[in-house]
């Protein structure tokens, strides 16, 4: 199962971990993982990409497009 999330916040990490704990083979494609105290399940395969930058409108658009192109 492939889960795509450019900036994985703690609720996204919980969802990924729930699928992994249920025995699913999970790959997380992300630019940044914000764990908030809970690390990713050891069986989750992590594929890193462009981190989302919230600075200007241009940087938001550029990093989103770069992430989308990498996907």
pLDDT tens-place string over residues 8-66: 999 999 999 999 999 999 999 999 998 787 899 999 999 988 888 888 988 888 888 88
Question: How many other C-beta atoms can be found within 10 angstroms of the C-beta atom of residue 9?
Answer: 13
Looking at the DSSP assignment, which residues form a beta bridge with residue 15?
Answer: none
Q: Give me the pLDDT at residue 67, please.
A: 82
Evaluate whether 50 touches 37 at the Cβ level (below 8 Å): no
Q: How many domains does the chain have?
A: 1
Q: Give me the pLDDT at residue 28, please.
A: 95
Residue 71, pLDDT > 70, answer no
Whole-angstrom Cα distance, residue 24 to residue 41? Answer: 11
In terms of residue numbers, what domain contains 24? Answer: 2-70
Enclosing H/E stretch for 2: strand 2-4
Q: Where are the alpha helices (DSSP H) in 1-71?
A: 10-21, 57-70
How much is the pTM?
0.80
């Amino acid at each position: 199962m492939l889960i795509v999330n450019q900036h994985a916040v703690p609720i996204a990490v919980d969802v990924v971990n729930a699928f992994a704990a249920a025995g699913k083979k999970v790959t997380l494609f992300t630019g940044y993982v914000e764990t908030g105290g809970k690390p990713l399940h050891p069986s989750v395969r992590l594929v890193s990409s462009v981190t989302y930058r919230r600075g200007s409108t241009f940087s938001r658009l550029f990093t989103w497009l770069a992430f989308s192109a990498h996907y």
